[in-house]
Amino acid sequence: MSTSTASKPTILVLCTGNSCRSHLAEGLLRQAAGDLFEIASAGSKPAGYVHPLAIRAMAEVGIDISRHHSKHMNEFLNRPVETVITVCGNADQACPIFPGQVNRHHWPFDDPAHATGTEEEQLAVFRRVREEIRRVFTSYADGRRDALKAAGSVKR
């Protein structure tokens, strides 16, 4: 039986602008472990949009983040957040403690929004960062799934 959204622990991915890296991570982690966790992303200084090249890079791997929107991390201050993962140095420094927070991780990635060159060259940076995030967050999801199985919380 699947876990209902109300009972799934929340993992919050934080970045400064909440326009690229945190949305890439949110989409990839939701794909890898959305059956076990509620996944969300936010920023300390939200840009107000999701970068079009982030949306495009994710669409290439079959993940639709086109309906995501940029959110401020303060939207989560009154919600139980089990794990906070920061993906840039500024968000790590600005990160408050959230209600119910048990875990905190900091895995910084290059900001593809700063890529220069042609659109294709910029997209190549988004793809590289997407794949770096995929490796880290898939390993994280696998580790969490293994831990839950060992504890008897997940049955297959």
Q: How many residues does the chain have?
A: 156
Q: How many CB atoms lie within 10 A of CB 42?
A: 22
Which DSSP letter does residue 115 get?
A: -
Active-site hit among 11, 13, 14, 15: 15
Beta bridge mates, 13: 41, 85
Residue with tokens 């079959």: 62
For this structure, is 95 an active site residue?
yes
For this structure, is 20 an active site residue?
no
Residue 43 contacts residue 91 (beta carbons within 8 Å): yes
Helices (H), the chain: 21-33, 52-59, 89-94, 119-150
Active-site hit among 25, 42, 88, 123: 88
Active-site hit among 55, 95, 125, 136: 95
Task: Give catalytic residue positions.
Answer: 15, 88, 95
